[in-house]
Chain A
């Protein structure tokens, strides 16, 4: 019995039941006519409904496209800046104020600037870029810094200069760190893209836009249903993240999430 209770899958399932139970209780106390905090039953009915609508998948696709464009650009920039900072420690200190600024500025401030600089539909791309860039940058730098000194010394003996050593030795050795950084910030970037879609007020093809529209139409069960859809997708990403971390662990890489 004790083994059954301590099994991680059992605990995970109990955790889900706990969340649903909590949801029922909050709904019972605060909701009126599904207008404030719809129950899991109302939400599941709406969830079934939105899954049958083709527009849901189009919206999901566009949100994902915006997120992936922002994410790819931020990854490329993080790779360039991270390689420079990881390879030349002085540059790490040079970039530090920039990274601190990017990590500290409230996201909402970026959103309004990007709406004016581009438009409401493109702004989420830039917001994802700005938020994910410092996280991915730290992952790249962390990977470079994890390369043992002996390996670097040996490459110098073999005649590799610092640029060659960065591309042919440090970068391949940093790849597991970078992959974990990518997986960790992936779920975050999806949430950011949705939030940016809501704030920018973009009205076409986006899960954030669908959530905002459902709210303005007072269809709170739909708001919860779209959120449930995102939660399920994020759960899948989290599972992927766990798999990657387990592989990394097998290879002897310890990942510090709070880095």
Chain B
């Protein structure tokens, strides 16, 4: 039995890595991108879509019971029947 909280913690670790790399990429675009509408729109689209994905996931996580756990044994038995 694996609690949902474990998956959420792993997700948060990946989210932190994403945030660091995304910030560096955005910094490079802000510093060296030619002043142009496409430069601005690419930043807006990237940031906007990231906010939608993170926001959507957080909204979903707010509704669930963190104490619930996943029992992988029945699924493992379905994939690898003995």
A is bound by B: no
Interface residues in chain A, defined as those with a beta carbon under 8 Å from any beta carbon in chain B: none
Interface residues in chain B, defined as those with a beta carbon under 8 Å from any beta carbon in chain A: none
